[in-house]
Amino acid sequence: MLARAPTETAAQDYPKLSPFECGIRGRCPRCGQGHLFNGFLTLAPRCEVCGLDYSFADPADGPAFFVICFVCVPAVIFGLWLEVAFQVPYWVHLITTLPVLLITCIPPLRPLKGWLVASQYYYKAEEGRLIMVDPPAAPGSAPHN
């Protein structure tokens, strides 16, 4: 009887967890217990509970992209509206627009990064690779074997 590698059996013993729930809570996408982050946005090297190596994860600029598209734009529109409608002095922007930008842009980064990392694990995402295909045979030529 063939024995399975420890990593295969260990991965099969864990239930499928929701990438959204694990990511939002900043937990390991395999066991749901260990921490995903060391600090605010730095990924831990591995889960301290199940030992899952997080080197597979590469969310790149995904969290920043989503925050810019969905949160920063409305916050900037608020600042522009404040300026156009009331022509407020700069100090008013300092105490209104700047906090709105900071409060709406920084906190969503961590949950979004966690969700993207957990999704990469859940869907087994990996770097794309080109597959070389044999060129089509010319008409009238014999096929290769």
Instruction: Go through 78-98 and write b for each residue having 16 or more CB atoms within 10 A of its CB, e for each that does not.
Output: ebeebeeeeeeeeeeeeeebe
If one compares 135 and 46, the residue with the highest pLDDT of the two is 46
What band does 30 get if pLDDT is binned at 50, 70 and 90? Answer: very high
The pLDDT of residue 110 is 96
The rounded percent of the chain whose pLDDT value lies above 90 is 74
Query: At a CB cut-off of 8 Å and minimum separation 6, what does 134 contact?
Result: 144
Please answer whether residues 134 and 116 qualify as being in contact, where contact means their C-beta atoms are separated by less than 8 angstroms. no
Give the pTM: 0.77
DSSP bridge pairs for 53: 46
The pLDDT of residue 44 is above 50: yes
What band does 2 get if pLDDT is binned at 50, 70 and 90? Answer: very low
Give me the amino acid identity at 65.
F
What band does 121 get if pLDDT is binned at 50, 70 and 90? Answer: very high
Span 54-87, pLDDT tens digits = 999 999 999 999 999 998 999 999 999 999 999 9
